[in-house]
Structure 1
Amino acid sequence: MTETGSGYSAYQIALHWITAALVLFQLLFGESMTTVVDAADEGQPVSALDQTLGSAHYWIGLAILALVVVRLIMRLVSGAPKPVEGGPSWMQIAARLSHGLFYLLLLATPILGLLAFYVGDPWSDIHSLNKPLFIVLISVHALAALFHQFWIRDGTLKRMLAPDR
């Protein structure tokens, strides 16, 4: 793996923010899939909106899985920028752990969703457990980015907003 410059490429930044937007959509509208599956199990009709959102949840989950695979390949080929110098080692360890957990969740959640859709329980229960994990991890990630931007002022957030030149 090669190290990149001090920041991320435009492609890495685009993949990050597209993935983030798709995950946010899933978190906000994913319950429609549960509504659709439960209605099908009970032989009940489902609204057109829930049907559309349930279908979108399925396809966006596949898109997230594909984008994460692309991100991982890009990371293996191009590397990632070194952490900003000067921070305590525990912050760098926490950053590596949280990024690793993000990749694990971003890969496992769509796979578990497919298992839930095609196989059923217990996969749907396990898939559903990832929602609160994502919410906590995203919250910590966003707070850490804001902490770096406004408290430490080390340019960490800027690296994910503007490509390395």
Structure 2
Amino acid sequence: MQRHQRGYSGLQISLHWILAALVLFQLIFGESMTAVVDAAEDGLQASRADLALGSAHYWIGIAILVLVGLRIILRLTSGVPRPADSGPAWMSAAARASHILFYILLAATPILGLLAYYVGDPFGEIHSLAKPVFTLLIVLHAAAALLHHFWLKDDTLKRIFIPGV
């Protein structure tokens, strides 16, 4: 059963935006890890930039895994605001489904990345599939938030910026 609260807490909002920034970094600079792995497989040395960004990709992936664990714990213990009543029922179902998919991706992608790093393929290939899925989900998530704000004129978007709304 889902627990509901008036609005997101400051900690929940902070975790949302920290995770968003970390995922964005991973999506933009994640190819450096591929360059490092490919260079190692070919017996070559990756560039200093790729080594630095590859290392950052590794540690940020671990940070994402830890922070999403914290976010899930907070969600289970503190609850979340009730969904906006504006819009058709399918929108609420889509919102629930997209949030579940986000949590699955946020947990599974770093785990698959670690398995790819320490075990190898096929985990690397599966891990790389997360990028287009994340990208599509982020676009849909942002579009839905803007739709709620500008078309449905509810507080959905405000809730992820202002605690307690």
TM-score by length of 2: 0.97
Report the residue type matching 2:93 in the other structure. Answer: I
Distance (Å, rounded) in 2 between the aligned partners of 1:48 and 1:83: 47
Distance (Å, rounded) in 2 between the aligned partners of 1:45 and 1:103: 35
Q: Which runs of 5+ in 1 are unaligned?
A: none
1:139-154 equivalences under 5 Å are 139-154=139-154
Q: Which runs of 5+ in 2 are unaligned?
A: none
1:79 and 2:72 aligned: no
1:161 counterpart residue number = 161
Report the residue type matching 2:56 in the other structure. Answer: A
Distance (Å, rounded) in 1 between the aligned partners of 2:27 and 2:115: 18
Report the residue type matching 2:161 in the other structure. Answer: L
TM-score by length of 1: 0.97
**Segments of 4+ in structure 1 off by > 3 A?**
none
**Percent of paired sites with the same residue:** 63
Distance (Å, rounded) in 1 between the aligned partners of 2:3 and 2:23: 28
1:101-140 equivalences under 5 Å are 101-140=101-140
Task: Judge conservation of contact 2:109–2:130 (CA < 8 Å) in 1.
Answer: yes
Q: How many residues align?
A: 164
Cα displacement (A) at 1:85? 1.9
Report the residue type matching 2:69 in the other structure. Answer: V
Report the residue type matching 2:70 in the other structure. Answer: V
